[in-house]
């Protein structure tokens, strides 16, 4: 068994993932899914900001698991061991804690980095993270039933290609961006057409279109 995966993204009318005005509608509708965790792409976390404050003693302590804490755990794949800025997000008002997905090829020094700072991590796959296997662990070990993605496209495209996405949620911004920004499905490679079923379509904030599609297996 694995969690239900909802791919959630905001795009311009021409499919770009950046270049539109952020009005907060993306996160407003994201809360409707009642997700147990959020799955971020490593590139999204890696490039979230140009500069980060240094670690303090707090970075080495696991946050207390309080029953009244409504924040979600973040799940981040990082088989190459690039992310050394996790303390910034772990200490934010949006993140309860972080679970890192690694593989057999992850450098041992990075695993030690995670252990020293008391991050949970799941080893799944050989050269790259085996998402199907990792999702099963999240289901069994952490009781995760719904997981929402927050990615610029590379991670979610891989999940679609592997048949792991159950629903696709899109917030369409009222603008055209052009070729200067990356498109959501820029790296998607499918052997055949993937049919979708429209679940809902509504106008949000009088300007944005909110679409939810079911992926037909």
What is the distance between the alpha carbons of residues 181 and 160, in angstroms, rounded to a whole number?
Answer: 21
- At residue 92 the predicted structure's pLDDT band, cuts being 50, 70 and 90, is confident
Nearest partner of 40 among 2, 94, 93, judged by Cα: 94
For the chain, the average pLDDT equals 94
**pTM check: above 0.75:** yes
- Which CATH number is associated with domain 41-144? 3.40.50
Which segments of the chain are extended strands (E)?
4-12, 37-40, 72-77, 95-102, 120-123, 146-150, 167-173, 196-204, 208-215
User: Residue 168 has what pLDDT?
Assistant: 98
* Rounded Cα gap, residues 180 and 174, in angstroms: 17
| Residue-wise pLDDT tens digits, 137-188 | 999 999 999 999 998 889 999 999 999 999 999 999 999 999 999 999 999 9
Tens digits of per-residue pLDDT, 62-83? Answer: 998 888 898 999 999 999 999 9
For domain 1-36+149-217, give its CATH number from 3.20.20.70, 3.40.50.720, 3.40.50.1220, 3.40.430.10.
3.40.430.10
Q: What is the pLDDT of residue 78?
A: 97
What lies within 8 Å, CB to CB, of 186 at 6+ separation is: 153, 157
pLDDT of res. 204: 95
Nearest to 121 by CA among 163, 86, 157: 86
Listed in order, the ranges of the chain carrying CATH 3.40.50 are: 41-144
Tokens of 216: 């037909």
Q: What is the pLDDT of residues 126-135, one digit of tens each?
A: 999 999 999 9
Please measure the distance between the N-terminal and C-terminal CA atoms of the chain and give it in whole angstroms. Answer: 16
Per residue in 184-201, pLDDT (tens digit) is 999 999 999 999 999 999
Q: Average of pLDDT values for 5-26?
A: 94
Tell me, what's the pLDDT at 65? 85
- Is the model's pLDDT at 99 over the cut of 90? yes
Q: Looking at residue 91, what is its pLDDT?
A: 85
Sequence ranges of the chain with CATH classification 3.40.430.10:
1-36+149-217
> Cα separation of 61 and 169, whole Å?
35
Tokens of 186: 């820029």
């Amino acid at each position: 068994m694995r969690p239900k995966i909802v791919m959630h993204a905001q795009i311009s009318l021409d499919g770009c993932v950046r270049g539109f005005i952020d009005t907060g509608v993306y996160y407003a509708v994201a809360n409707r899914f009642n997700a147990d965790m959020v799955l971020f792409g490593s590139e999204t976390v890696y490039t979230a900001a140009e500069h980060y404050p240094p670690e303090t003693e707090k970075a080495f302590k696991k946050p207390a698991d309080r029953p009244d804490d409504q924040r979600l755990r973040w799940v981040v794949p990082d088989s190459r061991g690039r992310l050394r800025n996790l303390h910034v997000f772990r200490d934010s008002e949006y993140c309860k804690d972080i679970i890192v997905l690694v593989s057999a090829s992850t450098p041992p020094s990075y695993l030690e980095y995670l252990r020293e700072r008391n991050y949970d991590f799941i080893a799944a796959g050989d050269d790259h993270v085996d998402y199907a296997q990792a999702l099963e662990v999240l289901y069994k070990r952490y009781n995760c039933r719904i997981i929402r993605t927050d990615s610029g496209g590379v991670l979610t495209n891989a999940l679609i290609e592997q048949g792991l996405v159950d629903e696709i949620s899109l917030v369409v911004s009222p603008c055209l961006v052009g070729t200067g920004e990356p498109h959501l499905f820029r790296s998607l490679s499918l052997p055949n057409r993937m049919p979708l079923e429209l679940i809902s379509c509504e106008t949000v904030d009088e300007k944005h279109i909110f679409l939810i599609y079911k992926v037909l297996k």
